[in-house]
A and B are shown apart, each in its own frame.
Chain A
Amino acid sequence: MKITKFTAAAIIILFFQGCTKDVDFNQFDDAKIHSTYITTLIYLNLTASDFLDDFNREIAVTTDLVQAPISNDSEPYLEKVEFTVITENTFSRNFKLSITFYDVFNAPIYVLQPIINVPENSSKLTTIIEIPKQDIPSIYDTKYFGFTILLSPSTNGSTISINDISTFNLKSSAKLFFNYRKI
């Protein structure tokens, strides 16, 4: 009988002490998960012929387009984009590179700032370009990225020749900063 009473008491204690310590599920609203992803982007290996037309005349403005099928699933979480651009120029000419975002109507909606200046005969130069939070929606409205290279006039009147072995190289990557506030 003693064992019975003891066991019954133990069972009652076990069940009735069953409780919870304080938890606060509202903390979930404060949860932030900051994740950063890096992705490779475009690169260029341009030579003299890329800046000359069929008659070997200099082309002052060279443009190329890349389609951008960007899903807007990540838009609520993307906080910042940071581009890293590394340039190397052995031409005796200055270049400027501008990157413009175009919407579905081919209208320019955003230009990355600053425009990248590539001085003549420059070794590796790294430029960091940031798209701040307030400009992020532009990315998701973009249909094409336009890359424009402006060949600055020479200061001494010289021109690029087809036999010029100089190169203009560019490497790039992007860092995407996400904050998963609403998991």
Chain B
Amino acid sequence: MRKLSFFIFLVYAIGFSQNKQVLYDFAGLPQTLLLNPGAEVENKFHFGMPMFSQLSAQGGFTGFSTYDIFADNGIDINDKIKAAVNNYGTAEFFAFNQQLEVLNGGFRLPNNDFLSFGYYEDVDFLAKIPRDIVDLFYEGNTIINRRYSIDKLAARVEMLGVLHLGLSKKMNEKWNLGARAKIYSSVFNASTKSNSGSFYTEEGTQNIYRQHLDNINFLMQTSGVFFRNGEEIDASYVKSKLLFGGNLGFGIDLGFTHHYSKQWTITGSILDLGFVNNSKNVESFLYKGDYEVEGVQLNFDRNNPQNYWSDLKADFDNSILSDTLYKSFISFRPVKLNGSASYSFGQKQDECRYLIDQGFYLNKIGLQWFSTVGAVHSYMAATLFYEHRFSKHFQTKLTYTANPFSFTNIGLGLSANIGVVNLYFAADNLLGLNNIYNAKSASFQLGLNFIFKDKN
């Protein structure tokens, strides 16, 4: 029980989906290139500490928080569960994403373009749970004519390794463009989306009740979940699948930085425009059809005894198509869109009020926009930010984000450079730190880089 409780705590405490609003366009960190391949890079070359250049975890649940259920406030837990169910929306979603950057590097080419590359492991989970499912579990089905629908039921989970190679190119003083190619190697993938159908009970004519499965259309596609050839799942299996032994796919990222004026900058990116071709260990489950039943009519026919259960099952099987498919399928990565508009100000002056560095600003304020578009679920978030450079060794970024999880999400990023060593940390939902159990979402990214700048 304690283990389960701790797991529930972790589920709430870690995470939320893939918006890295603090890290986006922050302090010229190498990792910003993964969020916008068109970000400007001032480095000569860089490489990340292997396995520690970026560790990130994000997750959240829009329904209720750990504190809503487990607060030690003298209220019976069953009353708190009831209140949480009553406040549950039409559909709430749970999201979790974890990334571990194994390798990250980049260097400036002779033509001044910047080439970056790396490999990271990515686990992504998202489940959208309709209220009808919660009510059916929590209350049962005693309300006659109430339809319990699966129309909003959707989920995806996947684990993959991503090898990437990107180029950031300065076109002129105003434009910097970038692109990144990615090869995906999927360990497992499961998704269900575009489901429809409902279950309901009405008053019957032959019997007290007539029960319906109405217009059921459910498909769950999986790869790397079910095994027919006796493969064993262990660390070496996962490693081999992550390193291009899994289901392979391809994707691209595109991005830009545009200096609209000397102090105004606009950036944008589209990430993971790609797919995975799922052809190994594929097993998909399809259920489709309509079914209604009033019960079993007993005939008491001595001369013709019936196997009622077999007849009932046959009737169900004839009405609801149930099929297991072993056909390859394409799964699309959830596409992420980032955008920002920022205004830089406050130039550094010496004691005689002479500018120390023309065109170099200490402060930046702006607006960021994030959206993820996927077949399973889409949502967007907006962020206001303030970035300040205390010195060439230390930069901070403060963010305020409104997203489906919270309208009071304050984030903070810190980047410190000591020589060639760069250490950064970014986290959001800092107000939730006051009581982390009450936070519906949280995220952090941290890492260690070695950044070498041009002496000129």
A-side residues, CB < 8 A to B, are 3-4, 7, 11, 14-15, 17-33, 35-46, 50, 62-69, 84, 86, 147, 149, 171-173, 175, 178
Contacts and interface: CB of A to CB of B under 8 A. Distances in A.
Contacts of B296: 41-43, 66
A164 to B, nearest CB: 16
18 contacts: A11-B396, A18-B436, A20-B437, A23-B71, A26-B1, A27-B69, A28-B1, A28-B5, A30-B76, A33-B78, A38-B209, A40-B210, A41-B296, A43-B206, A43-B295, A50-B301, A67-B307, A171-B204
Q: B66, B207, B294, B388: which has the most chain A beta carbons within 10 Å?
A: B207
Nearest to B66: A23
A5 B344 CA distance: 22
Interface in B398-456: 412, 414, 430, 433-438
Contacts of B142: 36-38, 175
B437 A43 contact: no
B236 interface: no
Given A43-B296, A173-B295, 12 more contacts: A21-B67, A22-B73, A23-B437, A26-B1, A30-B76, A33-B81, A42-B296, A46-B300, A64-B305, A66-B309, A68-B309, A171-B208
Given A4-B390, A25-B9, A38 B137 contact: no
B351 to A, nearest CB: 13
Contacts of B207: 40-43, 171-173
B72 interface: yes
Nearest to A15: B433
B77 A27 contact: yes
B238 interface: no
B208 A84 contact: yes
B138 A35 contact: yes
A149 B307 CA distance: 19
A79 to B, nearest CB: 12
Interface residues of B, number: 59
Contacts, number: 159
Contacts of A173: 207-209, 295
B293 to A, nearest CB: 6
B141 interface: yes
A64 B139 contact: no
Nearest to B80: A27
B208 A50 contact: no
Given A25-B9, A29-B1, A149-B300, A19 B433 contact: yes
Given A25-B2, A42-B297, A42-B298, A20 B435 contact: yes
Contact of B67 (A3, A23, A39): A23
B137 A35 contact: yes
A15 B388 CA distance: 19
Nearest to A66: B308
Given A24-B72, A171-B207, A173-B208, A37 B298 contact: no
Given A37-B141, A67-B307, A44 B298 contact: yes
A25 B70 contact: yes
A116 to B, nearest CB: 14
